[in-house]
Structure 1
Amino acid sequence: MAQKGTGKTLEKLKSSVNDGKYYEAHQMYRTVARRYNKQEKYSQSIKLLHDGAVSLMQHKQSASGSDLANYMMETYMLANLPVDEKSLDRVIDILELYPSTEVGRKAFLSKTFSWTQKNGDYSEGDPELHDYVGTMFYQEGQYSLAEEHLLVGTDHSAELLGELSYTWAQQDANNGNGIYLARVVLQYLAMKSIRHATMTFNSFIKAANLSTSQADFRYSPAGETVKVPTFDDSWLNFTQLVLLTVQRDGSALFTQLKSTYGPMYHQQKGFDDLIDDIGAAFFNIQKPRKQGNIMQDLMNSLFTGGPSTNASRQVTGSPSLGLD
């Protein structure tokens, strides 16, 4: 009976929207949903609010639709709704209709990720949702926001970050392309994600279509020598060397990398901390004792835009790729 009653209410409200009675429909969607919530009939409320948000947005009533969308996420939280395919699909349905200029989208995203953090399996929020949102921001040209979400996304996110890093670099005449790749790869490595760091690196190199020369590298002192590409951009060489070094027992090489490339990455806020995190994660090198909330400062600096404009493109000399 409850489902039948909800169905009749939906039909009536849809008719109001189709007749152009947007304000009346918006208020009724809210009123009925509030009544359901007071009765703890959360599934009916969610169905109603999802339908209303979609219907109003389809009729270009984005502010009203956004209000119902945000109320839907508040109801998700009230209901402690599990993060599953069905509950995420409702979110995606609405996001696909959200205009990028609608101010309510920011609040909707904030509430959505708070819900996935509380009711899902991932402390950073659902990776598939991060991938969707990061891809959305990338397509809108909001690269900093895209990077923030893609870093905690999926395999697709890692590959897209390589493309994003190259695209973003083309808009910056003051820095070498490789610095945009380095900031992503080093963040992945600080999180001990060699796989995603490698996927991003390969995607960037493919997008850039660079001409390269070759040099020797050994993964272990007694290991076989392999050929790896070298680049004109010192940031690319540095990034590749760090990526290769963490895959071997190479604490001495890592220390030499820091010494050789330090004059370059010291100029970029946050990079020292990333290198220290990588050293601690892979080689048990104790991080320098510092004051303040280092990680918060680092994330703030990395997510507020591109690299600073005083970065050096080249560093004289480089460590031996075959160094044991």
Structure 2
Amino acid sequence: MSGKGLEKTLQKLRASVNDGKYYEAQQMYRTVARRYNKQGNFADTIRLLHDGSVLLFQHKQYGSASDLANYMLDTYKLAHTPVDETSLDRIVELLNLFPTADNSRKAFISNAFKWSKNEGNFPEGDPELHDFVGTMLFNEKKFNLAEDHLLLGNNHSAEVIGKLAYQWAEDEKVQWKGVYLARVVFQYLANKDIHHASLAFQNFVKTAGFQTIVAESKVRRAPADSEASSVPVFSDPWMNFTQLLLLTVQRDGKDLFTELKSRYKPLYGNETNFVELIDDIGLAFFNIPKPRKQGNMLQEMMASLFSGGAPGAGGNPLLGLGGGNATSGAELD
């Protein structure tokens, strides 16, 4: 379709919306979009549906607007629209128009990630999109959901997740706020991502402020370094543990890693998720095999015979630490 023809169609549909004929307009948008798609005019379809969705959102017709927004994403998939700045900007604009409490927003987000996985270069979805969604959820104080997206984001995401970890800990009023930092940094390091782990750590410390620092210590960041540099010692043992782990994985420190695990085992040893993450980090950086899980052979055999499945090991939730068995006197070596 020529540009002039599309503009004429858009004007007609906009007039219908502005006249309050919302349902009629929605059906017209869908009918024209189907016709364009059959003709292979995907660019026209996308522009039409995006324009209609924005206009319906502005008129607070959220159900109809969401319907057209998802139809636009379906056309993205049909047309194999690449993940680029233009295609992402349309999604971001529409996401900003969804009411916070609208359940259809979740479906739109899920649909957007399905498209970005199929047409982009990242199996977990586009990092820029994860960053936008994660930051949006962080600003809404939906910390758990935000963390899932920010961990898959970009440099900005890592900075935001450091702030998120501190604010989440503040809201939960835990004894040692660094446990929320540790869960983020350990997940990054388990994927051998030192850069984002460091950004998250730095922004957590920056958000926490100087009140958490009780002293300074000297460390050589690598054996070849002639001079030691200063690093802070924190009142929070989880922050000290996390900092030491970050320093250790940046050098040939297999023995140091093993010592670190032993020294801080009383802090994290009762938390299954942390134990597994530490083992993952040992494998990723130092090629230390993960311990084989020990099971009751008789129970496993009986479970197999009766198709019941082997009993799983218990463990407290990742956030159920509360600092109860933390060693408050742990020092940075």
Q: Normalising to structure 1: TM-score of the pair? A: 0.90
Q: Relative to 1, partners in 2 of residues 1:320 and 1:103: Cα closer, same or farther, differing over 3 Å? A: closer
Number of aligned pairs? 308
How far off its partner does 1:150 sit? 1.0
Which amino acid is the alignment partner of residue 86 of structure 2?
A: K
How far off its partner does 1:5 sit? 2.3
**1:219 and 2:221 aligned:** yes
Say if 1:98 and 1:105, in contact at 8 Å, map to a contact too.
Answer: yes
Question: Residues 206-227 of structure 1: CA distance to partner in whole angstroms, max 9, x if unpaired?
Answer: 1111332012222344533222
Q: Indicate the SS of the match to 2:172.
A: coil
**1:230 and 2:242 aligned:** no
Give 5+ residue unaligned stretches, structure 2.
295-316
**1:308 and 2:311 aligned:** no
How far off its partner does 1:86 sit? 1.0
**1:131 and 2:134 aligned:** no
Which amino acid is the alignment partner of residue 73 of structure 1?
A: L
How far off its partner does 1:310 sit? 4.8
Which amino acid is the alignment partner of residue 154 of structure 1?
A: N
Tell me, in whole angstroms, the C-alpha distance in 2 between the residues paired with 1:22 and 1:281: 56
Give 5+ residue unaligned stretches, structure 1.
292-304
How far off its partner does 1:271 sit? 1.1
**Residues 28-177 of structure 1 aligned to structure 2 (within 5 Å):** 28-177=28-177
Q: Who is 2:284 aligned against?
A: 281
**Residues 182-197 of structure 1 aligned to structure 2 (within 5 Å):** 182-197=182-197
How far off its partner does 1:6 sit? 2.0
Question: Residues 284-314 of structure 1: CA distance to partner in whole angstroms, max 9, x if unpaired?
Answer: 11122359xxxxxxxxxxxxx9711454363
Q: Indicate the SS of the match to 1:171.
A: helix
- My pick for the range that moved more, 4-13 or 54-63, is 4-13
Q: Indicate the SS of the match to 1:158.
A: helix
Alignment RMSD, CA only? Answer: 1.9
Tell me, in whole angstroms, the C-alpha distance in 1 between the residues paired with 2:54 and 2:154: 27
Tell me, in whole angstroms, the C-alpha distance in 1 between the residues paired with 2:60 and 2:329: 59
How far off its partner does 1:38 sit? 2.5
**Residues 16-35 of structure 1 aligned to structure 2 (within 5 Å):** 16-35=16-35
Tell me, in whole angstroms, the C-alpha distance in 2 between the residues paired with 1:263 and 1:67: 53
Q: Indicate the SS of the match to 1:121.
A: coil
State percent identity of aligned pairs: 56
Q: Indicate the SS of the match to 1:90.
A: helix
Relative contact order, higher structure (CA 8 A, sep 6+): 1
Tell me, in whole angstroms, the C-alpha distance in 1 between the residues paired with 2:258 and 2:331: 10
Say if 1:233 and 1:313, in contact at 8 Å, map to a contact too.
Answer: no
**1:202 and 2:202 aligned:** yes
Tell me, in whole angstroms, the C-alpha distance in 1 between the residues paired with 2:86 and 2:107: 21
Q: Who is 1:252 aligned against?
A: 255
Which amino acid is the alignment partner of residue 246 of structure 2?
A: L
Query: Over alpha carbons, which structure has the higher Rg?
Result: 2
Question: Residues 187-218 of structure 1: CA distance to partner in whole angstroms, max 9, x if unpaired?
Answer: 11111111111111111111111332012222
Tell me, in whole angstroms, the C-alpha distance in 2 between the residues paired with 1:34 and 1:57: 21
Tell me, in whole angstroms, the C-alpha distance in 2 between the residues paired with 1:207 and 1:120: 34
Question: Residues 217-267 of structure 1: CA distance to partner in whole angstroms, max 9, x if unpaired?
Answer: 223445332221111111011100100110111111111111121222123
Say if 2:130 and 2:149, in contact at 8 Å, map to a contact too.
Answer: yes
Say if 2:237 and 2:329, in contact at 8 Å, map to a contact too.
Answer: no
